[in-house]
Amino acid sequence: MGRKLDPLKKVPRGPGRKSRKQPGAEKELSKILSDGDAEVKRLSSRSRKRAAKRRQAEEQKVKSSKPEAKHNGNAQAVQKGKKKLSGFSDENAEWLKPVKRARKDKDDDEDEEEDEDFSDEEVDSGDEKPVKLVGDDDDESGNDEPAEELELSDSDDDLQDDFGASSEEEEDGGDLLPIEKAAEKQKKKSKRDKETEDEEDIKLNVDGDEHFTLPTAEEMEQQLSTHLDLTSIQERIKDIVAVLQDFAKRGGQHTRQEYITVLRQDLATYYSYGDYMIEMLSDLFPVSELVDFLESCEVQRPVTIRTNTLKTRRRDLAQALINRGVNLDPLGKWSKTGLVIYDSSVPIGATPEYLAGHYMLQGASSLLPVIALAPQENERVMDMCCAPGGKTSYMAQLMKNTGVVVANDMNAERLRSVVGNLHRLGVTNCIICNYDGRKLSEVLGGFDRVLLDAPCSGTGIISKDPSVKTNKNAQDIQRCAHIQKELILSAIDSLDAQSTSGGFLVYCTCSITVEENECVVDYALKKRNVKLVPTGLDFGKEGFVKFKERRFHQSLRLTRRFYPHTHNMDGFFIAKLRKFSNTIPSSKEVLQQCSRHVCCQ
């Protein structure tokens, strides 16, 4: 079945692709083509055209030397040659009948024109005879002179090549045996069929995904009662999110609320949340953003540290930690002291630099309230809920140990960590006290700036405390909101509106619920003579001015929200207020102000 190695036992149709590039190949091939003892096989239509073209070139030379008297005999021979070529009307007419072939696809037509096929009868018999193109010996006129060559092509450019070889045919494997050509052709056809099947499969998959059918309640209960398949639940979450983003893909007549209900159940099952938390988060975020938030809460936030500029510089600290095998980078352009730790070969909380007070382990979101407060030197500043002392030491650092910083916390046990951190960091301008923040204004007052990091539900730090997923309900949120409203009023009363450099309050929580953030700030705007001012932070999302049925003051756009899936830090809320009058509005004034408020109309 292999290829014949002896070139003398076949008639080459022309030089190959490489042979045409080599000089002298034409002479060698002409010797082979002139061998009369070589085995002759049936020529294809293109081969016959090329052979006629070569004969034409030779006969034109002979014609120029013959007298014009023989022109009529040659013309008759030409007419006879045309008849024989078209109808195979010579003595070989019995076996030179054209092979009947079945109709084939359009894709195979080009390949079939280049192939040379033999009938089974010809291969078995082995009696192959050359095809005569002109009647040299069989002229009825008896003319022994060679006839004029047939002009089988109107264009010489189509048939012009080296010794009748077609470059396109040779590049595709012109010297292959018929059975090898058939194999190549079958291989190409199989490849085209496979590509067509793949395209049809992709089309079917796309068509199948266009419409998603919502599972019934019985199917949902059966799935929950049996072994949970988290992979199928995850796929269904993706399908429902895609349907809610493009509601034309829905299957059946289900409403949007039915899709949302199933999505909430799947999210609660997949991420292990309580029903109240999922409902609250789904009201807070769009569908696609909700999934991103839940995914980000499953990943721990990067470890960040704050450089204590009272004892060192950030550049020197970074170099010292790098020498100890710590991989770190600056936290961001918005912080001049923060560093983010990727990995470390030594414990970050037990290095000599840490024990010497050169840095403090502190989250990136905890730096933002102090930056927004921007305490100045020689001011009186209070941190109403100070434990464990990260923000308090940062304020003392910015004040360069000048002025007075009052650190208060209601829990005496937590104040021990505050004392230890302040001593380690070298803070000397701080006073620590233990009071209930709701009554602190009755004891201390006249502060230039106050920082209130209010206790909250912790819905923004789920990655640190996963128990928030299930142990929080509406009563817990309302209880926290009530305490926060009392604390913010006490903090405002502790401020001095006549301060030349201050009178500012920064209210912040590590929660993302509206009840603990916008509702509390809006309540303070109604109860006290304060107004919201820009926080000075150039990133973060704006606060809500409307949420479900609630309507808030338009200035709440100045507040800032931070989310783990967008800012890669803990969920946080920051609002900055300025007190413009020390007088407390009476109940009548509050009612008049409330009547002018948008939410009460």
Q: What angle do the packed helices 256-271 and 217-225 form, to 10 degrees?
A: 10
Find out whether 452 and 507 touch, Cβ atoms under 8 Å: yes
For the purposes of burial, counting CB atoms within 10 Å of the CB of 563, is it exposed (0-12), middle (13-18) or buried (19 or more)? Answer: buried
| Residues contacting residue 593 through CB under 8 Å, at least 6 positions apart | 526, 585
In angstroms, the CA 59 to CA 62 distance is 5
From the list 386, 510, 594, 600, the catalytic residue is 510
**Rounded to a whole number, what is the distance in angstroms from the first to the last CA of the chain?**
95
Concerning whether 480 is annotated as a catalytic residue, the answer is: no
Residues whose CB is less than 8 angstroms from the CB of residue 505 and which lie 6 or more positions away in sequence, other chains included: 449, 450, 451, 452, 488, 491, 492, 495, 530, 576, 577, 578, 579
CA dist., res. 395 & res. 278, Å (int)? 37
Residue holding tokens 């983010």? 340
Handedness of CA 11, 13, 15, 17 (dihedral sign): negative
Question: Which of 269, 247, 268 lies closest to 258, judged by CA?
Answer: 247
CB atoms within 10 A of CB 516: 26
Q: Is the peptide bond before 98 cis (omega within 30 degrees of 0)?
A: no
Task: Find out whether 437 and 487 touch, Cβ atoms under 8 Å.
Answer: yes
Cβ within 8 Å of residue 418, ≥6 positions away: 386, 387, 388, 389, 392, 407, 409, 432
For residue 13, the tally of other CB atoms under 10 A from its CB is 23
Nearest Cα to Cα of residue 449 among 389, 497, 521: 497
Tokens 């409902």, residue? 279
What DSSP element (H or E) covers 47? helix 45-65
Integer Cα distance of 556 and 447 in angstroms: 24
Residue pair 215/265 in contact (Cβ under 8 Å)? The answer is no
CA angle 450, 451, 452 (to 5 degrees): 115
Measuring CA to CA, which residue among 356, 302, 313, 357 is closest to residue 336? 313
Q: Give the residues across from 572 on adjacent strands.
A: 562
- H helices present in 210-302, as ranges: 217-225, 230-245, 256-271, 275-284, 287-296
| Distance, CA of 285 to chain centre | 21
- SS percent in the chain: helix, strand, coil, step 5: 50, 10, 40
Q: Report H helices in 428-547.
A: 468-471, 474-494, 518-527
Active site residues: 510
